[in-house]
């Protein structure tokens, strides 16, 4: 049930938001994930999550300008 609600919400957001706003939203989500991972003591998540975040940034041209 939760997955269906999230899926529906994402579909609505994609229809409502412009590409520029979607990039800003994605940047915010990626910034949050990166800061959270860097704030943990675990190095394992640094090795896996940060490269995925970088790959997403490169693929969708979302610069990390902050």
Classify residue 36: in a domain, yes or no.
yes
Classify residue 40: in a domain, yes or no.
yes
Contact 26, 13 (CB under 8 A): no
14 or 35: which leads in pLDDT: 35
Cα separation of 57 and 54, whole Å? 5
**Nearest by Cα to 57 from 36, 37, 29:** 29
Classify residue 8: in a domain, yes or no.
no
Cα separation of 9 and 17, whole Å? 12
Domain that holds residue 61: 18-66
Global pTM reads 0.73
Classify residue 45: in a domain, yes or no.
yes
Question: How does the average pLDDT of the chain come out, rounded?
Answer: 90
Q: Which residues of 30-52 are buried (b: 16+ CB within 10 A; e: fewer)?
A: beebbeebeeeeeeeeeeebeee
Residue 54 pLDDT grade (very low, low, confident, very high; cuts 50, 70, 90): very high
Number of domains forming the structure of the chain: 1
**Mean pLDDT over residues 1-12, rounded?**
88
């Amino acid at each position: 049930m939760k997955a269906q609600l999230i899926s529906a919400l994402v579909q609505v957001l994609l229809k409502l938001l412009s590409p520029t706003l979607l990039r800003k939203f994605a940047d915010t989500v990626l910034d949050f994930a990166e800061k959270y991972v860097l704030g943990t003591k675990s190095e394992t998540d640094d090795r896996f999550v940060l490269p995925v975040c970088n790959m997403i940034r490169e693929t969708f041209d979302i610069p990390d300008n902050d």
